[in-house]
Structure 1
Amino acid sequence: MKNLGRHVLAEIYGCKFDILNDVKKVEEIMVNAALEAGAEVRECVFHKFSPQGVSGVVVISESHLAIHTWPELGYAAVDVFTCGDKVNPWDSCNYLVREFGAADMSAKETERGLLPDITKQPAAVNL
């Protein structure tokens, strides 16, 4: 079975507080992470929490990148979901590790859209 997409869930540790707490910097890094992987950026929404933390999403033609940060813990929870064969979610994750000044990343990939062979499905019935 062929998958429709790849979804990487990344736990990024040992990041720099000043980066993870700066909404503009986090947005810039996330957009560049999408571009680094060859994705086409469509829209972005980011929010700064008080007293600290940032959440945001970058919508790409191929799906999305999302993040939530805990600057006080040096931690970012990230997911990168890409569809098709042209964009590699690991390129985005590795870019984020570098740009956040992270000490470590733990990540796993899940294949999304594992559909049965539609050529074996019965034809749709028009009523």
Structure 2
Amino acid sequence: MTRDIYGTHLMLRIAEIADRAALNDEQRVKEFLIDTVHTLDMRVLAGPLMGVEEGPPELQGCSGVVILYESHVAIHTYPSLGEAFIDVFSCKPFDASLAESVIERYFGSYAVIERNVADRGIHWGRDAARELAAWQQQRGEERLNDKAVER
């Protein structure tokens, strides 16, 4: 079965994270990103790129992103709040629950506060070259129509 979308986007906000120290451990967060990529059988193009924010406790934490051939996996952690935002977007179909299964291995138990799984690129299709050509043709027609309106 083919999907008439470009990809799937999993967006999570998790809280009540058992291992708050792991949320502030740059190496642990990096390992989480890599394991998520491998669990979903995706391929790293670049990264993980990591950053640690210092400052007021409510802003401290780690952020990381892995750029994939299929798109990206990202995380932003807030150790003092016991929360994190996790984002997985891919043009390769994936099981969102499989992505979520990695979280507990790295951060312990948690509660899901927000969970959204969205189809992205509706009507984009799987053949990106064909879709780009159609988009360019459409944009060209729109520009011609815009010029006709200006006259």
Q: Fold conserved (TM > 0.5)? A: yes
Alpha-carbon deviation of 1:50? 1.1
Corresponding position of 1:32: 35
Corresponding position of 1:88: 95
- Please give the per-residue CA displacement for 1:86-115, whole angstroms capped at 9, x wherever unaligned: x33432222123421132123110101112
Select which of 47, 50, 70 maps to 1:46.
Answer: 50
Corresponding position of 1:101: 108
- Show structure 2 runs of 5+ residues with no match: 141-151
- Show structure 1 runs of 5+ residues with no match: none
2:28–2:106 CA contact under 8 A, matched in 1: no
Larger proportion of strand: 1
Larger proportion of helix: 2
Percent of pairs identical after alignment? Answer: 28
Corresponding position of 2:15: 13
Corresponding position of 1:110: 118
CA distance in 1, matches of 2:136, 2:50: 43
1:46–1:55 CA contact under 8 A, matched in 2: yes
- Please give the per-residue CA displacement for 1:41-93, whole angstroms capped at 9, x wherever unaligned: 122201011143011101111100111110001100011001123x3343222
- Matched AA of 1:47: G
Runs of 4+ more than 4 Å apart: 116-119, 121-125
CA distance in 2, matches of 1:122, 1:30: 33
- Matched AA of 2:79: P
- Matched AA of 2:82: G
CA distance in 2, matches of 1:11, 1:23: 19
Q: TM-score, normalised by structure 2?
A: 0.71
- Matched AA of 1:22: D
Name the Cα RMSD after superposition.
2.5
Q: How many residues align structurally? A: 123
Select which of 25, 40, 46 maps to 1:22.
Answer: 25
Select the structure of larger CA radius of gyration. Answer: 2
